Chains A and B, each alone.
Chain A
Amino acid sequence: MSTYEHNDPKLLGQLLERIEAAWKAGRSDSVVDELAARHPAYAAELYDYLHFLVVEEFGTGPSEQEREDLSRRMRTWLDSEAPRLIRASLTRPSDDGSPSNAGDSGPSAPSEYLSFCDMLRKVTRLRPSRFAEALNADLSFIDDIDCYPDRVPQRAKAKIIELSSSRLGLDSDLAWQTLRGTVYSKAAKRDDDYDRPPPTYREMIEHSRMSPEQKQFWSSFIDE
Chain B
Amino acid sequence: MTAPLPPDEQIDVPDSETTAKQASRAYLERLAHASAKELPPEELARDYRRALMQKRPNLRLAQKILARLLDPDDQYGYLKGVKYKAATWKRDRAHLAADLVQDTAEEIIRALPTDRGAYAEENWRRFTFHCYVKCWRKRFGKKGQRLMEAADPPEEAESFDEFVTQETSPVNLWEVELPPQKLEEMKRVVREAVEPIQDDFLRTVGLKLLFDDPPTVTALADELGVGRRKIYHALDKVRAKVFVALRRTRNLHGCDDEWLQDWLNQ
Residues from 80 to 114 in A contacting B, C-beta threshold 8 Å: 81-83, 85-90, 93-96, 98-102, 105-106
A119 CB–B CB distance under 8 Å: no
A51 CB–B CB distance under 8 Å: yes
Q: Are A50 and B241 in contact (CB under 8 A)?
A: yes
- Which residue in A2, A29, A53 is a CB contact (below 8 Å) of B193? A29
The chain A residue sitting closest to B117, CB to CB, is A101
- Which residue in A45, A61, A193 is a CB contact (below 8 Å) of B12? A193
Query: Min CB distance, B54 to chain A, in Å?
Result: 7
The chain B residue sitting closest to A60, CB to CB, is B265
Q: Size of chain B's interface in residues, with CB distance under 8 A?
A: 73
Main secondary structure of the interface of B (DSSP, over half): helix
Type the 1/0 row for A44-83, where 1 means its CB is closer than 8 Å to any CB of B.
1101111111111011111000110111111101100111
- Which residue in B53, B88, B98 is a CB contact (below 8 Å) of A102? B53
B176 CB–A CB distance under 8 Å: no
B residues less than 8 Å from A81 (CB atoms)? 106
> Which of B123-131, B148-156, B207-215 lines the interface with chain A?
B123-131
Residues from 232 to 250 in B contacting A, C-beta threshold 8 Å: 234, 236-237, 240-241, 243-245, 247-248
Given contacts A77-B102, A78-B67, contact A3 B85 (CB under 8 A): no
Q: Are B87 and A89 in contact (CB under 8 A)?
A: no
B residues less than 8 Å from A47 (CB atoms)? 197, 199, 202, 237, 241
Other contacts beyond A13-B126, A66-B90, A69-B98: 19, CB < 8 A: A2-B199, A2-B202, A3-B143, A4-B142, A9-B116, A9-B130, A27-B244, A29-B248, A33-B196, A47-B237, A48-B129, A52-B85, A54-B264, A55-B264, A71-B72, A90-B57, A98-B116, A100-B114, A105-B53
Closest 6 CB pairs between A and B?
Answer: A36-B198, A74-B72, A29-B244, A56-B81, A54-B240, A51-B240
